[in-house]
Structure 1
Amino acid sequence: MVRILFALFVGLGSLLSSAQAQTLLVLGDSLSAGYQMQVEQSWPALLNQKWQEEGGKHTLLNASISGETTQGALARLPALLNEHKPDWLLIELGGNDGLRGFAPTITRQNLASMIALAKEQQTRVVLTQIQLPRNYGARYLRQFEQIFPELAQANDLPLLPFFMDDIALRPELMMNDGIHPTPAAQPQIRDKVARFMEPLLSQ
């Protein structure tokens, strides 16, 4: 009888653990794609490795592409949602729109469309704040950077703070272009994203 109860307890624990496991799809640009480094060095790969080492607590799927714009990601998103059916979608996009001088209204509309597509599939969304180099005009910077908190508030979404904020101030963690983080910065980004995401995934 004790063995039967133990087996039932273990089985129930396994079911509960499985039920809590979440799938996170990351849709981003070069900041999340492992630009100029081995894929396994990138922060998404490191975060997924962390979760697998913790017993498969969650799974991270990385659909980030270097150079991606919000328009390109919007075109790819329906197929990604249909294929992977993620519980959560982390959107880290907009930087290339800004660097190319796209109108903030276009970036806002594309991000809003991605959010709507995810919600239609019952996928919860986290939006990442994006910042541009300070040498852009003050008016453009203000209009661009307001997109993210305003969309998050309008759609009741968690807003992940810009994970490059302090890293960008440390030359030893940045590539020579001054935009992309080095492999040495990836564990720090992993830890930032993990601290933000894990409470959400455990809800």
Structure 2
Amino acid sequence: MIKFVSLLFSLLLFSPVVNSTTLLIVGDSLSAGYNIRAEKSWPVLLPAELTKQQQQLTVINASISGDTSGNGLQRIPGLLTQHKPDYVLVELGANDGLRGFSPKIISDNLSKMIDLIEAQDAQTILMQIRVPTNYGKRYGDAFASIYPTLSEQKKIPLMPFYLKQVIVKPEWMQQDGLHPNEKAQAWIAEFIATELGKIIN
């Protein structure tokens, strides 16, 4: 019995520690599971989809409905300290765009967020965001260009805007025409997992 306990202690003491890779999601209602059951939201479904694609990630969803890029900038230092993520998926800017904020302000906020993330030795993954077409071509183009420009300048991955493929399916959208419903969440989780697989080795 003593030998068994000694062997068990040795295994626990000297077995290699498996470090979990952590993905922190910092977004708005598009990631926060707006108006749907939390357990059915795509960030909650994401780990299972990643497992199917031979990826093991601990997913922490720090998204808050209504957040702007400015809100994200204020929150990111505390989130980085608390969670110490390896990757940070930034899905912000939609609320800025809906309020007609200057593209320069949005770009500056996101740029500062990226710098803070990279300073903590985490990798930023930026999600492309677009505004509805009724905001006009000039503003829409200026807004959309924020994301590829930052991706190129900061040398970070740019993830496609998943809503572009969801919004064309009315049965996947809530009545407000802005947010995916519960039926769309499994597809979104699969989409995000596939895109992450191209980025995370």
Q: TM-score, normalised by structure 1?
A: 0.87
Matches within 5 A, 1:2-41: 15=16, 18-19=18-19, 21-41=20-40
Matches within 5 A, 1:43-192: 43-51=42-50, 57-192=56-191
Q: 1:59 to 1:173 in 2, by over 3 A?
A: same
Cα deviation for residue 200 of structure 1 reads 2.4
Q: Give SS of 1:73's match.
A: helix
Asked whether the equivalents of residues 51 and 59 of structure 1 are also in contact (C-alpha less than 8 Å), the reply is no
Q: Distance in 2 between matches of 1:33 and 1:100?
A: 19
SS in 1 for 2:167: helix
- Identity of matched residues, %: 44
8 Å CA contact retained: 1:51, 1:57: yes
Structure 1 CA distance for aligned equivalents of residues 169 and 199 of structure 2: 29
Distance 1:134 1:23, change over 3 A: same
Q: Residue 200 in 1 paired to residue 178 in 2?
A: no
Mark the runs of 5 or more structure 1 residues left unpaired by the alignment: 1-10
CA-to-aligned-CA distance 1:55-89 (integer Å, 9 cap, x gap): 98211000000011000111000000000000000
**Structure 2 equivalent of residue 4 of structure 1:** none
Contact 2:166 2:184 in 1 (8 A): yes
> Secondary structure, in 3 states, of the residue corresponding to 2:133?
coil
Instruction: Determine the C-alpha separation between the residues in 2 that align with 1:55 and 1:130.
Output: 27
In 2, Cα distance between equivalents of 1:81 and 1:199: 24
Matched-pair contact (CA < 8 Å) for 2:50–2:193? no
Residue 64 of structure 2 aligns to a residue whose secondary structure is: coil
- Structure 2: gaps spanning 5 or more residues: 1-11
In structure 1, C-alpha distance between the alignment counterparts of 2:167 and 2:16, rounded to whole Å: 42
- How many angstroms apart in 1 are the aligned matches of 2:116 and 2:76? 8
* Change in 2 beyond 3 A, CA 1:175/1:150: same
Secondary structure, in 3 states, of the residue corresponding to 1:165? Answer: helix
The residue matched to 1:135 in structure 2 has which SS?
A: helix
**1:196, 1:93 → 2: CA distance?**
17
- Aligned partners of 1:15 and 1:33: how far apart in 2? 35
How many angstroms does 1:137 deviate by?
1.4
Q: Within 1, Cα distance between the matches of 2:73 and 2:84?
A: 16
Amino acid at match of 1:127: L
Cα distance in structure 1, aligned partners of 2:54 and 2:28: 28
Tell me by how many angstroms 1:48 deviates. 2.6
Cα offset, 1:54, TM superposition: 8.6
Corresponding residue for 2:7?
none
TM superposition shift of 1:38 = 1.3
Residue in 2 that maps onto 1:3: none
